[in-house]
Amino acid sequence: MVLLSAYAVAFSFSPRSVARSDRSCYNFRVFPDRASQLPMTSRPIYLDAHATTPTDDRVVEAMLPYFSQQFGNPASITHQYGWEAEAAVKKAREAIASAINASPEEIIFTSGATEANNLAIKGIAEAYFSQGRHIVTVATEHNAVLDPIAYLESLGFETTILPVNADGLLDLDKLESALRSDTILVSVMAANNEIGVLQPMAEIGSMCRDRGVFFHTDAAQAIGKIPINVETQNIDLMSLTAHKIYGPKGIGALYVRRRQPRVRPAAQIHGGGHERGLRSGTLYPPQIVGFAKAVELGISQMETEGDRLQSLRDRLWQQLSQLDGVQLNGHPTQRLPGNLNVSFSGVDGQALLLGIQPVVAVSSGSACTSAKIEPSHVLAALGLSEERAYASIRFGIGRFNTTEEIDVVARETIATVKSLRRAKS
Ligand SMILES: *Cc1c(COP(=O)(O)O)cnc(C)c1O
């Protein structure tokens, strides 16, 4: 415990005071290059919260004891080291379950949302193919949903990829008519990672439940930001990840419903039979504890933080929309509070991104896949031309952004757009 509080003290030091401190002290060697991780004024303002988020200091603090102190393997049942780790994992599992109104046995830890999506989609396909081989999803899903489904198609499954309206919302009538007697799974994300659009979970859930089809949702961007309730929303499987909500990278979970109906996907990783046989591999207590802490923090301040992010988002949009030829992508209100996705007409997207790069870290409406730049499949699904998709920027506002930063970003973006347009004319 003495060591523990020393860790906390070490964290509150500025990098300079750490450097001046007694370097022989063990605690300061835990993170020898911590200084390089601290925000520096010369680095661009981070506005890419949908890609990842910094780990909250409170999360890091909660994780620390489980690296070198309570380092046991939660599966070791014969000694105290194992019991301590097991107790920490149990507590974390309970916290995550209660945040989504699930029970602890329904939480299967994975390495993140990509793995959770793979377990849900391939696992259901493998376990239930005798009941049907048809899977339904949406064009704006993350690749971690679309690619496993494409893989299943290559194995002989049939898939329906539903279009979305121009605002990014799924048309429920289209979903209803896509459901067939041999449909085994519907996968629709809760919140989109590019345009922030929130799909109607409860309506989709009740439709799937009525038709006896499993409903999976990728909630990587939603957990801790908008209310999620697996009971009222009739969710059967749900993918989660910690690093989009100020938790560590490399940890996530799949919620798997146990009752009414019982859902039993086939394991995709076999080994020691951990996680009810659904995901073998030694559990990673520091990451699991950090994940739970991140979820708890997100839930406890969801409303106030949501309001704050939304007002920053609206402030940014108010300023950017003074420019001619700007367009908001995605539904204006049915979206994550910190998300703003904007197209700037008459500018080259790459030039715009390059121009603002020294000041602001954002993503563009394109993705680099195997060194080739492609327009975003999400913006294409909204009906945007390739040119407009390229000239789009995703602003992801997060917990540590300030009003001052938003104003700097708005000024810089406006100035860059204006100068690019001038150079063109
Ligand atoms: C980030 C993200 C993923 C991938 O999550 P990892 O934990 O990084 O594997 C999947 N889906 C959505 C919607 C995401 O935003």
Paired sense of beta strands 392-396 and 363-364, if any: antiparallel
Question: What pLDDT does 349 receive?
Answer: 86
Ligand 1 geometric centre to CA of 241 (Å): 7
**Ligand 1 test: best mutation among 50, 53, 111, 114, most atoms within 8 Å of CB?**
114
Tens digit of each residue's pLDDT (9 = 90 or more) over 285-334: 999 999 999 999 999 999 999 999 999 999 999 999 999 999 999 999 99
Ligand 1 geometric centre to CA of 114 (Å): 6
Task: Let me know if 402 is exposed, middle or buried by CB neighbors in 10 A (0-12, 13-18, 19+).
Answer: exposed
Question: What pLDDT does 364 receive?
Answer: 85
Which atom, in ligand 1's list, is nearest to the CA of 244? 1
Shortest-distance Cα residue to atom 14 of ligand 1? 220
For the chain, which residues make up each domain, given as ranges? Answer: 2-42+302-424, 57-300
Other C-beta atoms lying within 10 Å of the C-beta of residue 107: 25
Question: What pLDDT does 13 receive?
Answer: 34
Shortest-distance Cα residue to atom 2 of ligand 1? 220
Question: What pLDDT does 206 receive?
Answer: 98
Binding pocket residue ranges, ligand 1, CB within 6 Å: 112-114, 142, 144, 189, 193, 218, 220-221, 241, 244, 252
Give the span between the Cα atoms of 42 and 404, in whole angstroms.
15
- Give the position of tokens 């957990």: 223
Please state the φ and ψ torsions of residue 105, each to the nearest 5 degrees: -70, -10
Ligand 1 geometric centre to CA of 322 (Å): 33
Domain 57-300: give its CATH architecture: 3-Layer(aba) Sandwich (3.40)
Q: What is the DSSP string of 67-119?
A: HHTS---TT--SSHHHHHHHHHHHHHHHHHHHHTT--GGGEEEESSHHHHHHH
Q: 2-42+302-424, what's its fold?
A: Aspartate Aminotransferase, domain 1 (3.90.1150)
Low-confidence ranges of the chain (pLDDT < 70): 1-41, 366-372
Shortest-distance Cα residue to atom 15 of ligand 1? 193
Ligand 1 geometric centre to CA of 165 (Å): 23
Ligand 1 geometric centre to CA of 57 (Å): 22
Shortest-distance Cα residue to atom 3 of ligand 1? 113
Ligand 1 geometric centre to CA of 112 (Å): 7
Which atom, in ligand 1's list, is nearest to the CA of 241? 7
Amino acid letter for position 172: L
Whether 342 contacts 329, CB under 8 Å? yes
Which atom, in ligand 1's list, is nearest to the CA of 189? 13
Ligand 1 geometric centre to CA of 151 (Å): 18
- What is the model's pTM? 0.89
Whether 138 contacts 96, CB under 8 Å? no
Which member of 2, 40, 77, 368 is catalytic? 368
Instruction: Pull the structure tokens for residue 296.
Output: 């708890």
Shortest-distance Cα residue to atom 9 of ligand 1? 114
25 as an active site residue: the answer is: no
Question: What pLDDT does 373 receive?
Answer: 75
238's enclosing H/E stretch is strand 237-241
Give the alpha-carbon dihedral of 98, 226, 37, 10, to 10 degrees: -40
Cα–Cα nearest to 189, from 235, 245, 148: 235
Shortest-distance Cα residue to atom 7 of ligand 1? 112
Q: In whole angstroms, what separates CA 231 from the centre of its chain? A: 21
**Ligand 1 test: best mutation among 115, 199, 218, most atoms within 8 Å of CB?**
218
